[in-house]
A and B are shown apart, each in its own frame.
Chain A
C-alpha cells in the first residue's frame, strides 16, 4: 500500500464516525506516550514536543477539513499528522531518522509532511506557518477552487509578528483561511498570562475584522463543529476566521522540560476533563460505543503502535547519500 493511499484511508472515516474519532484520539495519546518514553530511554536522539491532552483539537480539525485543504502546523505536530491521516509508522520512523519516515529520516520530530492529506512541511519556527497558510489560501482563491487553508499554531505564536501580518493579509484579501490557535496555556516554559495581556486570544480577531471564537478544545465534536463552520464560511468567499481552542499540554515544552513551573493542582483540574476519557464515557452513554468495542479499539491501537515501533526500529537509517538529496528542485 502506498503512503498516500494509507494516509487518505485513515483519514476519511473521521468525518462521520464518532468511534473513529475516539480511535484517532486514543492513537495519538498512545503514540505520544511511547515517543516520550523512547526519548527518555535514549532510543531516539534530539528533541521532541508531545501533545498529550490536546488530542481533541487535532482530531476535530481533521474531521472537519477535506484532505484537499492545506494545513500548516507546528513542531508539536505528531498529533495533527496522525489525525490528518499519516500512519504511525511513517511518523515514528521519521522521528527515529529512518529512510521510511515521511521526510526520509532527514527531518526528525519537528519536521513532518504529507501532501496527500494537505499537510505542508511542519514548522519549527513559532508563527511561521501562519502567513504560509494565508498563501495556500491565495492559491485556492486565484485558481477558483473551493479549497481552504488552515493554520494551526500555539498560544505563543499569538505574540509574534507573523500572527499579525498573516491574519491582516488574510483579512484584507478575504482569503479562504481558518486560523486555529491551540491555547495549551504555555508558550514554551511560560504560562500564557505572563506573556499575553488578554484572556482570550480569539478577541484579537476584532483587530482584523474577522470572527473570533473561543472553543472548548477538550471536546472533539465541538472542535469539529467550530472548524466546519469556519471552513464553510471560508469556502463561501466570506473570508477567514480565528478559532481559539482552549486546551492543555500535559507534558513539558520539550523532552528536557518536566514542567516544574506548573501550579499545584492545575494538571489534575485539566485531567478531569481529559478529552479521551470524557469522550469514551460519552460515546458509551450515548450508545455509540460499547465497553467491549472500546476495549477492542484500544487493543488494536496499542498493537499498531507496537508494530510501528518494531518496524521502524528494524528499518534503515537515512544515509550519507540521502542527505545530499532534495536540496534543490530539479
Chain B
C-alpha cells in the first residue's frame, strides 16, 4: 500500500471514480485550474477536461443547486465547499431540496450528490472558517454524512459516497490533509457507508470518535494503565449501531470525543441511544468530551485549548475509570476560569 497525504487520497479517490464512471463531474471554487486550495483535485482538470471539472463563481447556492439538478437528471456530481461554513448560504439546496427529492418524486428521482467540505479548528482560520457543523446536517432525513479521519478512510469513504444514490455530505478535517498514511486503493479500498471501524481494541472503556478526534483519541489512550477500545464512527448518518452496542456491552463504559460545541453535538445522540439500550450494563455514566459552547478562538494557544487534546482526553477517561463519575468539563473548573 502506498502512503499518501489525505489531500492526495481525496484527489486519488476522485480520479478513480471519474475514470470508472463518466457521469461523475465536479463543481467548486478554484478546483479546476488551481487544483483546489487544499490540492484535493490535483491533476483532475488535465485528465478529465473542463466539461467534467468545473470552476465556479463564488456562488455556493448556485453551484450546489446546479449539482442537485445535475444529480437529479443523470449525472453524479461532487461539489466542493471550500470551508464548510460556506454551505450556510446554500443550505436550502441540501436539506430542503436534495434531501427530499426522492420522497417528493415517489422514488422516481434520486440525487446521487456528494458534497465535500473541509472542516475543523487548529490552523488559525478564525471562528468563521474552523467549525465542523455536522450538527447542522445530521438531523435531516434523506442526507447521509461521513467524516474522514485520515488518508485511508478519506479514500474509501469518498468513493462510497460518490457511488451512493443519495445526497452524501463528506467532511474532511483540514488539519489532517498533510498527514500521510498507507492507502488501500481500488475496489477493495472502498469503505461502505454506515460502518464504524474499531481502530483499537480494548476492554475497560469504549471511546467513540469522529474525524480529527480519532487520531486524538488514539493518542490519548496509548500508554495508559487501562485498556480502551477506540471506535472511529466514520459515518455519522447512518451510524453503526451494532458496532457501538457490541463494544459497550463488552466494556460497560462509553466516552465520546467530539470536535463541536457540547450542545447539540452528535455525542448526545450516540449517548442516548447506547444508554437506552444498555442502561443495565453500564458501569459508569456515559461521558462526552467536547468543545465548549463558544466560538473557535483565533490565537494558537487558545485554539488548542478549545479543542479536546490527547492529554485532556486521557485525563477525562482516567478520571471516569478512577471515580465512576462524570469528570467536569475543563471550562467548568473554577481554577481554569479564574
Using a CB–CB cutoff of 8 Å, the interface residues on chain A facing chain B are: 70, 72, 102-104, 106-107, 111, 113, 115, 120-121, 123, 125, 128, 130-143, 149, 161-162, 164-166, 168-169, 172-173, 325-330
B-chain residues with CB within 8 Å of residue A166 when the two chains form the complex = 62, 65-66
Q: Are A128 and B92 in contact (CB under 8 A)?
A: yes
Which residues, 77 to 106 on B, are CB-close (under 8 Å) to A?
77, 89, 92-93, 96-97, 100-106
**What are 23 A-B residue pairs whose CB atoms fall within 8 Å in the complex?**
A70-B69, A113-B104, A115-B105, A115-B109, A120-B73, A121-B101, A123-B97, A128-B65, A128-B93, A131-B63, A132-B68, A135-B68, A135-B72, A135-B77, A140-B73, A142-B70, A149-B69, A165-B59, A166-B62, A168-B59, A326-B105, A329-B102, A329-B107
Expressed in whole angstroms, the minimum distance between the Cβ of A242 and any Cβ of chain B is 15
Q: Are B69 and A113 in contact (CB under 8 A)?
A: no
Closest 5 CB pairs of A and B: A135-B69, A131-B65, A165-B62, A135-B66, A132-B69
Closest A residue to B100 by beta carbon equals A121
Judged by a CB distance under 8 angstroms, whether B217 is at the interface is no
Which residues, 50 to 79 on B, are CB-close (under 8 Å) to A?
51-52, 54, 56-57, 59, 61-75, 77
Q: Are A136 and B73 in contact (CB under 8 A)?
A: yes
Q: Are B109 and A135 in contact (CB under 8 A)?
A: no
Judged by a CB distance under 8 angstroms, whether B108 is at the interface is yes
Closest B residue to A149 by beta carbon equals B69
Counting chain A CB atoms within 10 Å of each CB, the highest count among B70, B73, B103, B165 belongs to B73
Q: Are A142 and B102 in contact (CB under 8 A)?
A: no
B-chain residues with CB within 8 Å of residue A128 when the two chains form the complex = 65, 92-93, 96-97
Expressed in whole angstroms, the minimum distance between the Cβ of A67 and any Cβ of chain B is 14
Closest A residue to B107 by beta carbon equals A326
Expressed in whole angstroms, the minimum distance between the Cβ of B27 and any Cβ of chain A is 8
Q: Are A111 and B102 in contact (CB under 8 A)?
A: no
A-chain residues with CB within 8 Å of residue B102 when the two chains form the complex = 326-329
Q: In the complex, which of the residues B66, B67, B106, B165 contacts A102, with contact meaning CB atoms closer than 8 Å? A: B106
| Known contacts A329-B102, A329-B165; A169 and B107 CB within 8 A of each other | no
A-chain residues with CB within 8 Å of residue B75 when the two chains form the complex = 138-139, 142-143
Judged by a CB distance under 8 angstroms, whether B324 is at the interface is no
Q: Are A139 and B73 in contact (CB under 8 A)?
A: yes
Q: Are A169 and B105 in contact (CB under 8 A)?
A: no
Q: In the complex, which of the residues B61, B67, B106 contacts A165, with contact meaning CB atoms closer than 8 Å? A: B61
A-chain residues with CB within 8 Å of residue B73 when the two chains form the complex = 70, 120, 135-136, 139-140, 149
Q: In the complex, which of the residues A103, A140, A172 contacts B57, with contact meaning CB atoms closer than 8 Å? A: A172
| Known contacts A135-B73, A139-B75, A327-B103; A125 and B62 CB within 8 A of each other | no
| Known contacts A111-B104, A115-B109; A169 and B57 CB within 8 A of each other | yes
